Chain A
Amino acid sequence: MTTTSEQLIQDLVERTRLNINEAEKFSNFSNEKLNHKIKYDSWSILECFEHLNLYGDFYIPELKSRIENSKSLPNVNFKSGIIGNYFAKMMLPKDKLNKMKTLKDKNPIGSQLDRTTIARFIRQQEEMLKLLDTSRHIDLNKTKTAISISKLIKLKLGDTFRFVIYHNERHMAQANKVLDSKNLKAA
């Protein structure tokens, strides 16, 4: 994937706006709805958010320190790396949501959750918007970041942003699926 850096940032800011609006929508629902599970071992809406918060706890400080320490100059264009592009695209939700494995330390199941979980998510997205804006002053290609799923690989900053924000989108779709489930509509 090749694009201008500005286009990529604007696209990611817009996706983040929509993710925040989804979060605001969910924060109006009852605790009962927010804690409902379709199956005993599937995630509730709040567990979807907590999963994203656990990701954010890793990525936001990582992105922040890489951006702050980057001495690169802005590059007009961004060219996605082969692995980075593969990981990012894998995260985008498909029409029929495919199941994916969750690493143990990112599995929220059984956590004690209430709507502050959603507030925490929104806080993280505000932080994400700030990071996206700051990244306008550096090179999204040359700046590299660690990722949570492998210690061996580093991705281009632009791809890591895509990975994290597409991943947020994936779990917004999952939370909407929980909301649309028959059980919940009847409840």
Chain B
Amino acid sequence: MNPILNFIEKIDQQNLWDKTLKLNRKGYLKVSGSVDTNLYFIVSGSLKIYVLDEFEENIIRFGYIDNFISSLDSFITEKPSDVYIQAIKRTELKVIKKPAFMSFVESSEENTKIWQLILMNLIVQQMERERDILTASPKERYKRVLARSPQLFQEIPNKYIASYLRMTPETLSRIKKS
């Protein structure tokens, strides 16, 4: 079973959610400079995490249905983070606060193990992402991401995928056709 969904079921049963949250299309969950230690579960919709560099949006990561999303830097350090998290379409989220979540994780050995598994997966994903960015050829970058997350291409509009792949939307559509 998907470890995340196992968690969600238990958090549902134990009633640990703080609240649910609805965002309009393009609504912001988090803006640069805020401290946000919550963890969010995406019930519906999709979001992008990005940083602004001289007004240019650089997408770091996407979140879609049945996934957790958070400003992981702020979640861990409890300090301000410069990332933005914005809804791509209408999005519904369940919110759990860090203290409630951490005591849930620590409440059983099984939960601790699942959380470790989620974090380890995340480290592997981050390393994959690092290699994406170090890959010089746009076509190779595209192929890597397509092989790794085909779901991305179904859920997320092209212009955002292009930003994630560090290429223009025109280059992306040319590569897709070839």
Which residues of chain A (16-41) have a CB below 8 Å from chain B?
A: 16-17, 20-21, 24-25, 27-28
Q: Is the CB of B55 within 8 A of A133?
A: no
Q: Is the CB of A24 within 8 A of B33?
A: no
Bound: A37/B35 CA distance, A: 39
Bound: A20/B26 CA distance, A: 10
What sequence of 0s and 1s flags, for each residue 20-47 of chain B, a beta carbon within 8 Å of any chain A beta carbon? 0001111110111111000000000000
Residues of A contacting B26 in the complex (Cβ-Cβ under 8 angstroms): 24, 27-28
* Residue A136 is within 8 A (CB to CB) of chain B in the complex: yes
Q: Is the CB of A133 within 8 A of B33?
A: yes
- Please give the distance in Å from A145's CB to the nearest CB on chain B: 19
* Residue A8 is within 8 A (CB to CB) of chain B in the complex: no
Residues of A contacting B32 in the complex (Cβ-Cβ under 8 angstroms): 126, 129-130, 133
Q: Is the CB of A123 within 8 A of B55?
A: yes
Main secondary structure of the interface of B (DSSP, over half): loop
Q: Is the CB of B27 within 8 A of A21?
A: yes
Residues of A within 8 A of B (CB): 9-10, 13-14, 16-17, 20-21, 24-25, 27-28, 123, 126, 129-130, 132-133, 136
Bound: A64/B50 CA distance, A: 23
Residues of B contacting A13 in the complex (Cβ-Cβ under 8 angstroms): 31, 33-34
Residues of B contacting A17 in the complex (Cβ-Cβ under 8 angstroms): 28, 30-31, 34
* Residue B80 is within 8 A (CB to CB) of chain A in the complex: yes
Identity of the chain A residue whose Cβ is nearest the Cβ of B31 in the assembled complex: A17
* Residue B127 is within 8 A (CB to CB) of chain A in the complex: no
What sequence of 0s and 1s flags, for each residue 40-60 of chain B, a beta carbon within 8 Å of any chain A beta carbon? 000000000000100100000
Main secondary structure of the interface of A (DSSP, over half): helix
* Residue B82 is within 8 A (CB to CB) of chain A in the complex: yes
Q: Is the CB of B31 within 8 A of A136?
A: no
Bound: A8/B24 CA distance, A: 27
Residues of A contacting B30 in the complex (Cβ-Cβ under 8 angstroms): 17
Residues of A contacting B31 in the complex (Cβ-Cβ under 8 angstroms): 13, 16-17, 20, 129
Q: Is the CB of B35 within 8 A of A24?
A: no
Question: Which one of B24, B34, B52, B55 contacts A24 once the chains associate, using CB atoms below 8 Å?
Answer: B24
- Please give the distance in Å from A61's CB to the nearest CB on chain B: 16
Q: Is the CB of A24 within 8 A of B27?
A: yes
Bound: A12/B127 CA distance, A: 35
Identity of the chain A residue whose Cβ is nearest the Cβ of B81 in the assembled complex: A133
- Please give the distance in Å from B73's CB to the nearest CB on chain A: 14
Q: Is the CB of A130 within 8 A of B33?
A: yes
Residues of B contacting A20 in the complex (Cβ-Cβ under 8 angstroms): 28, 31
Q: Is the CB of B55 within 8 A of A126?
A: yes
With contacts A123-B55, A133-B80 known, is A14 near B34, CB below 8 A?
A: yes
Taking each of B24, B25, B31, which has the highest tally of chain A beta carbons within 10 Å of its own beta carbon? B31
Chosen A-B contacts, 29 in total, with CB atoms closer than 8 Å, are A10-B35, A10-B80, A13-B33, A14-B34, A17-B28, A17-B30, A17-B31, A17-B34, A20-B28, A20-B31, A21-B23, A21-B24, A21-B27, A24-B24, A24-B26, A24-B28, A27-B26, A28-B24, A123-B55, A126-B32, A126-B55, A129-B31, A129-B32, A129-B33, A130-B32, A133-B32, A133-B80, A133-B82, A136-B80
Residues of A contacting B34 in the complex (Cβ-Cβ under 8 angstroms): 10, 13-14, 17
Residues of B contacting A129 in the complex (Cβ-Cβ under 8 angstroms): 31-33
